[in-house]
C-alpha cells in the first residue's frame, strides 16, 4: 500500500457530496487496488483513482434505511480521452441496508 497517506489526503481534499430530494451524489479521488492479492490485480495505469456514486435512500425506521445505488470506480486521468493506457474499472448497481447511529 504505497503512498497510502497521500491517497487518503487526496480523498479527503477532492471528495464532495451533493444532496437533492433524497438523492446523494458522491465524487471522490483516492487509490484503487487489491488488498487481498487477488488473481487478477487492479491496473491503475499510474493514475488517480476516481469514485462516483449515485444513491437514493428510503427510511424503514428511525435509524434503518434501504438504499438503491450505482457505483463506478476507475482512474480519473487514465484511458480515453486522456491517453491509451489500460485501466481497470468496475460498475456496481445494487441495494443495501443502512444503519445510522
- Its pTM surpasses 0.75: no
Q: Return the closest-CA partner of residue 79 out of 27, 32, 17.
A: 32
Give per-residue pLDDT as tens, 40-97: 888 888 899 999 999 999 999 998 999 999 999 999 999 888 888 888 999 999 999 9
- For 8, the enclosing helix (H) or strand (E) is helix 4-14
- Strand 49-59 and strand 90-99: the pairing is unpaired
* Ranges of each domain in the chain: 4-99
What are residue 59's phi and psi, to 5 degrees?
-75, 140
User: Quick count: other Cβ atoms within 10 Å of Cβ 4?
Assistant: 11
Amino acid at each position: 500500500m504505497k503512498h497510502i497517506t497521500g491517497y487518503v489526503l487526496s480523498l479527503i481534499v477532492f471528495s464532495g457530496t451533493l444532496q437533492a430530494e433524497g438523492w446523494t451524489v458522491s465524487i471522490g479521488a483516492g487509490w484503487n487496488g487489491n488488498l487481498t492479492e487477488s488473481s487478477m490485480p487492479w491496473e491503475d495505469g499510474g493514475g488517480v483513482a476516481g469514485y462516483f456514486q449515485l444513491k437514493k435512500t428510503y427510511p424503514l425506521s428511525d435509524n434503518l434505511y434501504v438504499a438503491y445505488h450505482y457505483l463506478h470506480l476507475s482512474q480519473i486521468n487514465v484511458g480515453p480521452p486522456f491517453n491509451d493506457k489500460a485501466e481497470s474499472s468496475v460498475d456496481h448497481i445494487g441495494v443495501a441496508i443502512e444503519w445510522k447511529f
